Amino acid sequence: MKPIHYNLSLEPDLTAFTFKGKSQVEIDLEVPASTVCIHGKDLEIQVCNLRKENATSPVSRCDFDFDQKKQEIIVKLPSEVSGKIWLDFEFTGILNDMLAGFYRSRYIVDGETRYMATTQFEERDARAAFPCFDEPALKATFDLEFIVDSHLQGIANTAIKEEKALESGKKSIKFNRTPRMSTYLLYFGIGEFEFLVDDTKSPILRIAAPPGKAQFGKFALDIARKSFDYGETVLKAPYPISKCDFLVVTDFAAGAMENYGAITFRENLLLTYEGKSSKLDYIRIAQVVAHEIAHMWFGDLVSPLKWKYIWLNESFATYFTYAIPDYFFPEWKSWETLVGDRGLGGMNRDSLIYTIPVELPGDDEVNIDASTAPIIYAKGAIIIRILEEFLGQEKFFEGIRHFLKKYQYDSASSEQCWEAFEEATGEPIIDFAHSWVNQPGFPCIEVSQEGAKVTLTQSRFTYLENQSSNLWVIPVHLNLYMKDGSNQTMAVVLKQKSISFDLPADTLCFKLNKDQVGFYRVKYSLEHLDCLGNMIQKKVLCTLDRFGVQNDFYALTYRGDYQIKDYITFIQKYFSEDDSDLALVNIIENIGRLMLISPKNRTFISEISKLFAESVLKRIGLDPQEDETMLRAVVRSDYLHIAAECGSQVAKDYAFKQFELLREDKDVPADNLGSILRIIAANKPETWQYMVDQSLNPDLPEGKKVLFLTALGAYKTKELLDKSLEFNITDVPKRNRVYIIANVARNPEATKWIWGYYQANFQTFMKEFPISVLGNTLAIVPPIGGMYHEEEVLKFLEMVQNMDPRGKGTAKMAAEMAQLYSNISKR
């Protein structure tokens, strides 16, 4: 039973927030059937008819039932039939405000609040807009029509074919037929749009935004054209639609969504404002645009056979998130960002005993949430980069091109992907792939040395003790530093538990995981770490290797293999003069986390961190420089904040001065604004109302509003933090409700009482927060609560796991993190 084609007409009411719909779906019944099960939820079905020959043949009325648990409409056919049939439905639904399905989004024009209808269907919410076979492999073509008020415009996956006035005073907008595609990639957009167009070549690219805002999409449009050029040149696969739209959706839960030919974005991930957008804003937009355009091939052209194979979409798209910007802007050092930011997030998530493999196990429903996304996106992207190193770039892209060509307009599994790679390259990669894609977790390699003999022993790395006997196929590349000042490389493959080999006789020191390409931790002795520290101090190690040494040291300290003082002392001794922005950004994140969850060491860490941060700021300066990198800008901002938190008057005075300029409507450095606002909140309680007002200011870009919301979690009195939390529920748009509560939870002034607040208000959060926002709070607040209320937190999270299957993964993850935080807080 599979769909072939849909005729779909939708009529939204942007005043009553409802919609009416009519659909005809052509179905191929390969065996005789007396019932048809089709997905549907939150719909009222008025009519269901059967046509046996074509869309215009005589009708037979059908009875139907709903299975609410399976979200299915069970259509009872008048008799047993086979072959091609048509089912006709008439239905109504609600344009909800929970940022999923067919929903409403607010925007403001000249001070007036208006609404658009928009969609977010991944993973299983197309069924909330019309009856459909809502699984990625059940692809079909679509003819879409919108019936809307005459002043409104419509955007869908394809270009408009016909627009005409109706006798009712409304108008009909019909669109060209779509390619064969999955339901979760459909897009329906009805509202007032302003366009910025690049029609210099095919496909036509358009920024579509609320009136007055399209002009700020020029940078994103330029990146989009570059990304399309890259995709069509390098991947050599078709993009079958004449246009691609990039839509600003004000109320949007995710960052962006790869609807085929009609990609939706949060405003701050598509629009830039000269003098107000930071370097990080520009680079983040470039990355997100590249990621979504990569999806036009990975996910849209070739879709996952089942949701368990969603990594084929997201891991490849995340790889190209960095590959495309690196191709056009090598000075951005995008691969460093993948390793030190996104990849590190995947590694931290995978360090829990409860984790998942990149290819999801079983056939249960999948939720892309805080517990799964870091593995599917980040870890998967790193594994693909390792595969590129393993095959070489030429063969790697041969494999990609063959895979896309073989399964275009269709769906594929992991096995089919690997088979396509082997067919194209002639290289045996399935054992390697299974080791990293089908197996949960990742290894730690412990290094021991006796004279010239080195032994490497692998075991699964987790923060809490595990009983795993898993082994990985690990390509290990070593940098050898020789006594004469030269260096060499060595490569071994660790497949078994241990391997031993001899070093050259004149080796002074060595480091595993050359250039941090591998996805594993390395444990050295403290003596060996001191040797590497000397190499760091002399800048013998490259940027990525300096980052890797200290980050592995930190992770093993976090686990308890080393003392916290050992790590902090190592940083102070060997990184106080370092200019590796990648390492410096990570160091300050690590220090901040230790200060939060290790109260016994807080004073010691704070004293060292103040001196360390002031030293870094003195070297790089307090004000951004025009030609500096994005990572340098992030270093400055992060170190300003931590220095002020640790009592630096230099950092505070700088923030106070810049804030006064801001209050006078004068320019302040966009790269530093977030830290400035948090420093002000921590030191000037009288500014609370100003922060609130600015977070609601309709004239401010979305990105700046988020900075003000974040600052509202940085005040130092319970009274003001309680006011911030109340404001979060009553006035903050639902899409942004994670920022205040997350930053209150991470505020040392609130760690002892935030758990009580969260538990007392959880039922309200369940009603008022979109599921993705609720999941993010679940991943952040209970672990911090576990530092002081471990038993209560674990009971609560067990209850959450039983309440809603969608929250089970995040709740299990949060429970383990609560145990971990509790352990660390006692050291």
How many Å apart are CA 567 and CA 601, to the nearest integer?
A: 12
567-568-574 Cα angle (round to 5): 85
CB atoms < 10 A from the CB of 464, how many? Answer: 15
HSE-up (13 A, CA, CB side) for residue 160: 12
Reduce the DSSP state of residue 94 to 3 states and report it.
strand
Question: 605, 598 in Cβ contact below 8 A?
Answer: yes
Task: Determine which helix (DSSP H) or strand (DSSP E) holds 162, and give its type and residue range.
Answer: strand 160-165
Helix axes 673-683, 702-711, angle to 10 degrees: 30
Spatial separation of the C-alpha atoms in residues 243 and 245, rounded to whole Å: 7
Three-state DSSP class for 121?
Answer: coil
Tokens of 498: 């241990």
What's the rounded Cα separation, in Å, for the pair 766 and 807? 11
- Burial class of residue 485 in the structure, from the number of CB atoms within 10 Å of its CB (0-12 exposed, 13-18 middle, 19+ buried): exposed
Rounded to whole angstroms, the Cα distance separating 161 from 535 reads 65
Which residues share a beta bridge with 119? 102
* 724 contacts 712 by C-beta, under 8 angstroms: yes
Angle between helices 718-730 and 754-768 (to 10 degrees): 10
Phi/psi for 414 (5° steps) reads -60, -45
Q: Which of 559, 636, 638, 645 is nearest to 595 (CA)?
A: 645
Instruction: Tell me which DSSP letter residue 507 carries.
Output: E
The closest of 517, 509, 522, 502 to 458, measured between CA atoms, is 522
**Joined tokens for residue 419:** 């088979």
Is 292 catalytic? The answer is yes
Q: What is the 3-state secondary structure of 314-366?
A: HHHHHHHHHHHHHHHCHHHCHHHHHHHHHHHHHHHHCCCCCCCCCCCCCCCCC
Three-state DSSP class for 389?
A: helix
Assess whether the previous peptide bond of 203 is cis (omega < 30° from 0). yes
Token output for 187: 């897009």
Q: Radius of gyration (Cα) for the chain, nearest Å?
A: 28
How crowded is residue 273: how many other Cβ atoms within 10 Å of its Cβ? 16
- The residues facing 216 across adjacent strands are none
Distance CA 139, CA 808 (A): 29
* Rounded Cα–Cα distance for residues 165 and 575 (Å): 69
The residues pairing with 445 across neighbouring beta strands, listed in sequence order, are 458, 522
Q: Which of 72, 292, 336, 388 is flagged as catalytic?
A: 292
**What's the full length of the chain, in residues?**
827
Block residue for tokens 């790269």: 671
Task: Provide the strand spans (E) within 442-544.
Answer: 443-450, 453-460, 474-482, 487-494, 498-502, 507-512, 521-523
How many CB atoms are closer than 10 A to CB 29?
Answer: 16
* Rounded Cα gap, residues 89 and 536, in angstroms: 68
Interatomic CA distance for residues 160 and 155, integer angstroms: 8
Any bridge partners for residue 67, and if so which?
72
What is the DSSP annotation of 590-641?
Answer: HHHHHHHH-GGGHHHHHHHHHHHHHHHHHHH-SS--TT--HHHHHHHHHHHH
Residues acting as catalytic residues: 292
